């Protein structure tokens, strides 16, 4: 079995206006994150097929793991507010000095949530990841970020 994980590294100046706008919105969301324990702010911006942008940021809680990551806040908010709209893309950013520019990735739970959103809507979600204002990692599907994922097909885990 061969498993392929394809991502592209891009520079900010190589992004089109829509991609750049989505990253700007994610940075705005990160500025409002509540991260008093980790100091690791994360912002996310989801673009729906209609063009609507839904924001999310990490919300920590002293009763760990009661908080949520920024990307899950954005994806769940989009699903709750716009249940019949497809997610086209998501930008996930962190201004934290702890974020490694070419290795900044969602946690495993967030990767699974992104993949399940793709499976539910039956179309891939383009993902942009950026630490601070440096290199942008782009994936055309959440499946690239979670190559050994699991799903249920006909009531059976696959």
Q: What is the DSSP letter of 26?
A: H
Give the three-state DSSP class for 40: coil
Pick the CATH number of 9-145 from 3.60.40.10, 2.40.50.700, 3.40.140.10, 3.40.50.620: 3.40.140.10
Predicted confidence at residue 117, as pLDDT, reads 96
Q: Which residues are catalytic?
A: 71
Do 95 and 41 meet the contact criterion of CB atoms below 8 Å apart?
yes
Give the pTM: 0.92
Convert the pLDDT of each residue in 39-80 to its tens digit.
Answer: 999 999 999 999 999 999 999 999 988 999 999 999 999 999
List strand residue ranges (DSSP E) for 49-86, in order. 53-57
Average pLDDT over residues 7-15: 90
What's the farthest any 2 CA atoms get from each other in the chain? Answer: 46
| HSE of 45, CA atoms in CB hemisphere, 13 A | 25
* Residue 125 clears pLDDT 80, i.e. is over it: yes
Burial 103-131 (b: 16+ CB within 10 A, else e): ebbbeeebbbbbbbbbeebeebbbbbbbb
Domain residue extents for the chain = 9-145
For every residue of 79-93, DSSP letters joined together read HHH-TTS-EEEEEEE
Convert the pLDDT of each residue in 75-114 to its tens digit.
Answer: 999 999 999 999 999 999 999 999 998 889 999 999 999 9
């Amino acid at each position: 079995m061969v498993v392929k994980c394809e991502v592209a590294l891009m520079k900010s100046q190589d992004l089109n206006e829509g991609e750049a706008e989505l990253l700007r919105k994610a940075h705005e969301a990160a500025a409002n994150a509540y991260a008093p324990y980790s100091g690791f702010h994360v912002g996310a911006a989801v673009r729906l097929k209609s063009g609507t942008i839904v924001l999310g940021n990490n919300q920590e809680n002293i009763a760990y793991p009661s908080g949520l990551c920024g990307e899950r806040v954005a994806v769940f908010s989009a699903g709750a507010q716009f249940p019949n709209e497809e997610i086209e893309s998501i930008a996930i950013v962190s201004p934290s000095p702890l974020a490694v520019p070419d290795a900044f990735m969602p946690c495993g739970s967030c990767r699974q949530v992104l993949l399940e959103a793709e499976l539910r809507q039956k179309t891939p979600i383009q993902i942009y990841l950026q630490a601070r204002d440096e290199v942008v990692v782009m994936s055309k599907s959440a499946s690239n970020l979670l190559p050994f994922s699991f799903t249920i097909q006909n009531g059976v885990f696959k």
